[in-house]
Amino acid sequence: MTKKELAHIARLMYDLQEYCRYIDELNNHEECNGCAFVYNRGDCRLIDLTNGTKVPCDNWGITKADIERLERGE
């Protein structure tokens, strides 16, 4: 996978992360609604594959600096 492809994936993940934060704030940090990754009871389907814990995308920690670094090829 090239750096350009990684940067594109990181940008998509960043957008999803920001959308998740928006939905979370819109619902006053209660139950997540309106997201394709949420089960009926408000649990996020996104799972950290390294340890099996649920990690909602608003906790991914992707920054614009990460994306810019990938775009520069560092």
Query: CA end-to-end span of the chain, whole Å?
Result: 14
Per the domain annotation, does 15 fall within a domain?
A: yes
Per the domain annotation, does 74 fall within a domain?
A: no
Q: How many domains does the chain have?
A: 1
Overall average pLDDT of the 30-43 stretch: 63
Residue 62 in this model has a pLDDT that exceeds 80: yes
Per the domain annotation, does 64 fall within a domain?
A: yes
Q: Domain limits at 62?
A: 3-69
Predicted pLDDT of residue 36: 67
**CA dihedral over 53, 57, 59, 65, signed as positive or negative:** positive
Per the domain annotation, does 11 fall within a domain?
A: yes
Overall average pLDDT of the 30-44 stretch: 63
Q: What is the DSSP letter of 57?
A: G
Predicted confidence band at 33 (pLDDT cuts at 50, 70, 90)? low
Predicted confidence band at 51 (pLDDT cuts at 50, 70, 90)? low
Nearest-CA neighbor of 61 among 8, 6, 2, 10? 10
pLDDT digits (tens, 9 = 90+) for 3-27: 888 889 889 888 888 887 787 777 7
Per the domain annotation, does 38 fall within a domain?
A: yes
Per the domain annotation, does 59 fall within a domain?
A: yes
Per the domain annotation, does 48 fall within a domain?
A: yes
Residue 25 is encoded by which pair of tokens?
């704030």
